[in-house]
Structure 1
Amino acid sequence: MEDGRHLIATTLSSSAQIHAKYGGVVPEVAAREHALAILPVVDAVLTESSLTLQDLDAIAVTQGPGLLGALLVGVTFAKTLGAALNIPVIGVHHLEAHLYANALVDALHFPALALLVSGGHTSLLLWRDYLQWELLGETRDDAAGEAFDKGARILGLGYPGGPEIERLARQAEKKSLHLPIANLGDTLDFSFSGVKTATQALWKDHSDEPEEVAYALQQAVIKALVKNVEKALNRYPVEHLYVAGGVSANQALAEALRHLGQVRNIHIHIPPTAYCTDNAAMVAALGYYLWQAGKSMGPFEGPHAVFPLV
């Protein structure tokens, strides 16, 4: 990564197919796969870029949140390499990094609202400038992506659940089933645990209509997300909304937000699918701005499995 926006080279090693056998991520397996993949991935990206390790000015690494074993592999590797090269290592917050996937597409515009939607987290932020934001609301229990994953398990679908729910929802014809969304009053918080329970009840009565149940679940999650974005826009009349995280790859959500953008005359920014899910490019992008601000990991800093945004 150069200048926080110019992606020189990137590569990806995924263990999703291995975890799919277990219906979800197995922490020990994830750590082992990280350890096996990290050297080949670094070699591959250096080859693609025609650069050497000596050309690097800094190294960015995900410091958290996440599975501790997998994080430990990355942080240990990055800090060891940084020490050998005598260059700074920048610890990056995984969720904040998702926002900077948008910087890979176009220049960022501030102030803006930002909607973070992933398997483990759902947050709404007021993004004032690079490295400057305010948390407006977050999930009180399950995240949006978690609701899709649990819904997929209820319907007997594969892992990861989000793409499976979206695939099935596209096949719905009647679209007559509905699920409730949580009413959290005047806050900008989210709650998706109730929709999981409601999906179980709906599936019990409509197990012969999996497409309709999947559509109802998808619409309930989208409605909850869009509702809070609308409320936030009423309070903070910005001109840009940035969406990030794995769930931002959901095309029905993208269509709903783009429709909102047309109605409210604001610009909706959603990264390409490859940058919606977890990727190193977004980590490097945020790492650049932290590096410019003089941030780096201390010698005794390590990974954080739990790493609050604030």
Structure 2
Amino acid sequence: MTSVNRKDNATDLTVLGIETSCDETAAAVVRGPLQKQILSNTIRSQIDEHSEFGGVVPEIAARAHIEILDRIVAEAMHEADCSWEDIDAVAATAGPGLIGGVIVGFMTAKAIAMAAGKPIVGVNHLEGHALTARLTDDLDFPFLLLLVSGGHSQFLLVRGVGDYERLGTTIDDAIGEAFDKTAKLLGLPYPGGPHVEKMAARGDVTRFRLPRPLLDRPGLDMSFAGLKTALRTQAKKLEPVDEQTVADLCAAFQRAISDVLAARTRSALEFFQERHPDTEPVIVVAGGVAANQEIRQSLLDAANAAGARFVAPPMALCTDNAAMIAWAGIERLRQGPVDDMALSPRPRWPLDSQSAGVLGAGKKGAKV
């Protein structure tokens, strides 16, 4: 372990962040915790590389990160008008994610840190999402987090940096994954989420009645594989489906997911108020699916009904980005000792390390 060179926790730190866990190559420079400034936030998407395959191909993603990461880091440093002398530490995603991409980003960060003589902070990608609202909205602990992305759908109680309790998670598909698979089934382009949302805006939400899985059971766990299967069954009955039918199916699918998330959010807020009766209830939503306007509105309505505060970071900070990684690095640095060069990247890294993995575990660790 090493310590960053700083006087005390009242001193601002300037951190370079690197994010390569999936198909975005990103670098950012963030200053905080006092000023809370995003000095740069450079992101390069790989949508074009993966669109013909209908999803992210891990080998292609890793290769694309290798080809462009050095330039992205240089752009972020230039935009921030920073030299290496201005940087206090380097933070990078060390997991979870597609291991090829994680290795590229984290090993690059190690090389930069070693060459520049800076501390290295290995950041849990999910912790980046969890702490973003503290950068954008200056939240205090504790608060509720709904993380909804291509790979994760879970409710978490965020009690502090490194202190997380998983309250519920998907037992099968993540929401973003369900959107992408539905889009592919209906012949819509990748990435599926925005195209499903666009078609849903033109659809009749009452034409098809799709299930709301697990809502007849207690707890906060969710399931979306059955919803996707029910949609496929409806589409098969009507083959070949015309454009209006696709729109109607998208509308029904999106509404079902919105209803499930709203119901589970109400239950999560009830749990939070029971556990923390003297604390203002706050629900934070993060992850790429948070960009969906119907889902966002349903969560806002659920929060309002419960008398809770609803927080959603700006769209650019909901999806994968390096500013959240740099900020998480700052939060970690404030606690004292940080990681050393022996830290290894990992494909799996649950935020709640105490709860059993819902989807099982193996040599690489718990899946969620």
TM-score (norm 1): 0.96
1:228 lines up with 2:269 in the alignment? no
1:276 lines up with 2:318 in the alignment? yes
Give the structure with the higher percent helix: 1
1:194 lines up with 2:226 in the alignment? yes
Q: How many residues align?
A: 310
Q: Find the counterpart in structure 2 of residue 150 from structure 1.
A: 181
Whole-Å Cα distance in 2 between the matches of residues 176 and 38 of structure 1? 47
Q: Find the counterpart in structure 1 of residue 131 from structure 2.
A: 100
Q: For 1:10, what is the secondary structure of its paired residue?
A: strand
8 Å contact from structure 2 (residues 214, 221) kept in 1 = no
Report how far residue 133 of structure 1 moved: 2.3
Whole-Å Cα distance in 2 between the matches of residues 14 and 212 of structure 1? 30
Cα 1:174–1:28 change in 2 (3 A) is closer
Report how far residue 101 of structure 1 moved: 2.6
Whole-Å Cα distance in 2 between the matches of residues 230 and 295 of structure 1? 38
1:66 lines up with 2:86 in the alignment? no
Q: Find the counterpart in structure 2 of residue 14 from structure 1.
A: 45
Cα 1:22–1:295 change in 2 (3 A) is farther
8 Å contact from structure 1 (residues 110, 240) kept in 2 = no
Q: Find the counterpart in structure 2 of residue 170 from structure 1.
A: 201
Q: Find the counterpart in structure 2 of residue 306 from structure 1.
A: 348
Moved more, 17-26 or 130-139: 130-139
Q: For 2:154, what is the secondary structure of its paired residue?
A: strand
Q: Find the counterpart in structure 1 of residue 31 from structure 2.
A: 2
Whole-Å Cα distance in 1 between the matches of residues 293 and 133 of structure 2? 17
Whole-Å Cα distance in 2 between the matches of residues 33 and 76 of structure 1? 15
Q: 2:309 aligns with which of 267, 278, 281?
A: 267
Q: 1:121 aligns with which of 130, 152, 156?
A: 152
Moved more, 34-43 or 200-209: 200-209
Whole-Å Cα distance in 1 between the matches of residues 248 and 189 of structure 2? 17
Whole-Å Cα distance in 2 between the matches of residues 173 and 223 of structure 1? 16
What is the identity, as a one-letter code, of the residue corresponding to 2:201? Answer: R
Q: For 1:135, what is the secondary structure of its paired residue?
A: strand
Whole-Å Cα distance in 2 between the matches of residues 70 and 265 of structure 1? 41
Q: For 2:166, what is the secondary structure of its paired residue?
A: strand
Whole-Å Cα distance in 2 between the matches of residues 235 and 279 of structure 1? 30
Q: For 1:9, what is the secondary structure of its paired residue?
A: strand
1:254 lines up with 2:285 in the alignment? no
Whole-Å Cα distance in 1 between the matches of residues 282 and 246 of structure 2? 36
Whole-Å Cα distance in 2 between the matches of residues 23 and 252 of structure 1? 24
Cα 1:254–1:174 change in 2 (3 A) is closer
Q: For 1:123, what is the secondary structure of its paired residue?
A: strand
Report how far residue 178 of structure 1 moved: 1.8
Q: Find the counterpart in structure 1 of residue 253 from structure 2.
A: 217
Q: 2:75 aligns with which of 15, 20, 44?
A: 44
Report how far residue 296 of structure 1 moved: 2.7
Q: For 2:340, what is the secondary structure of its paired residue?
A: coil
8 Å contact from structure 1 (residues 242, 268) kept in 2 = yes
Moved more, 108-117 or 182-191: 182-191
Q: Find the counterpart in structure 1 of residue 362 from structure 2.
A: none
What is the identity, as a one-letter code, of the residue corresponding to 2:266? Answer: E
Q: Find the counterpart in structure 2 of residue 241 from structure 1.
A: 283
1:291 lines up with 2:333 in the alignment? yes
1:110 lines up with 2:146 in the alignment? no
Report how far residue 175 of structure 1 moved: 3.1
Report how far residue 265 of structure 1 moved: 1.5
Q: Find the counterpart in structure 2 of residue 204 from structure 1.
A: 236
Q: Find the counterpart in structure 2 of residue 82 from structure 1.
A: 113
Give the structure with the higher percent strand: 2
8 Å contact from structure 2 (residues 265, 302) kept in 1 = no
Whole-Å Cα distance in 2 between the matches of residues 29 and 103 of structure 1? 34
8 Å contact from structure 1 (residues 246, 278) kept in 2 = yes
Whole-Å Cα distance in 1 between the matches of residues 333 and 69 of structure 2? 22
What is the identity, as a one-letter code, of the residue corresponding to 1:235? Answer: F
Report how far residue 295 of structure 1 moved: 4.6
Identical-residue share of aligned pairs (%): 39
Whole-Å Cα distance in 2 between the matches of residues 305 and 170 of structure 1? 36
Report how far residue 174 of structure 1 moved: 5.5
Whole-Å Cα distance in 2 between the matches of residues 295 and 280 of structure 1? 22
Uncovered stretches (5+) of structure 2, i.e. residues with no partner = 1-29, 274-279, 354-368
Uncovered stretches (5+) of structure 1, i.e. residues with no partner = none
